[in-house]
Amino acid sequence: MNLAGKRVWVTGASRGIGQALVRELAARGARVAASARDAEALEQLAVAADVTDRASVLDAVSRIEAELGGIDVAILNAGYWRQMDVAAWDTEEFRRHVDTNLIGMVHGVEAVLPGMRRRRSGVIVGVSSLAGLRGFPRSEAYSTTKAAQITLLESLRIDLAELGIRVQTVLPGFVRTGLTEANAFRMPLMLEPQDAARRIARGIERESAVIAFPLPMAVGMQLARAVPSGLYASAWARRLRRRSP
């Protein structure tokens, strides 16, 4: 797939991977519409949208389609991350992850599907995370919603194929963004947003079903999925005890 001339919509575009994607796609000749809650921080064609608000997303897509004549590629990138503390459980914090990461993606899918179905063409790119492949300490909310995104996109890939709509899943490792800056733990193989954006754009052009990076971490996570649950949990418990004072 050649991105030149394609009409692309990117959510979560005001910072991090989303902002870098807008620049990368524009450099490849795409006509890019960028959405985020703060439209003033956006570049290119900017349309404010809060992914947790269904009406806001539907209105944004309607305006973008009117401006561009349609959406060829929807990159659903908006996301939220905050560590959980099981000693001070916060259901509202969990709900915020669900509303942004999962329901936000569902709203994006709902908004672009009618146009893509009419044209019997289109690409939906969902940005999830390698953290969705297994549970991580203090990531009860994040890993849960990222796993749900992976499953959602896989189901869509099956059901939309006969309609001519391609679905791609993006699984990044650690990327230097505002969401990761506050992390106190070690983040191996950290990538810059521009590098992540190039990898995603290249994967879209190659029409890869899954775009996972960096490769060593992607392979490691796939291997981790084969580890029995009890062994996986006990290994983490031993590691965390060694870190405790």
Do the Cβ atoms of 181 and 158 come closer than 8 Å? Answer: no
Task: Determine which one of 9, 142, 174, 213 is catalytic.
Answer: 142
Looking at the chain, list the stretches that DSSP marks H as alpha helix, in order from N- to C-terminal side. Answer: 16-27, 54-68, 91-97, 104-119, 140-160, 193-206, 215-224, 229-243
CA angle 205, 37, 48 (to 5 degrees): 75
Q: Is 142 one of the catalytic residues?
A: yes
Could you please report the per-residue DSSP string of 83-111?
A: ---GGG--HHHHHHHIIIIIIHHHHHHHH
Q: Residue 2: count other Cβ atoms within 10 Å of its Cβ.
A: 9
Please identify every residue annotated as catalytic: 142
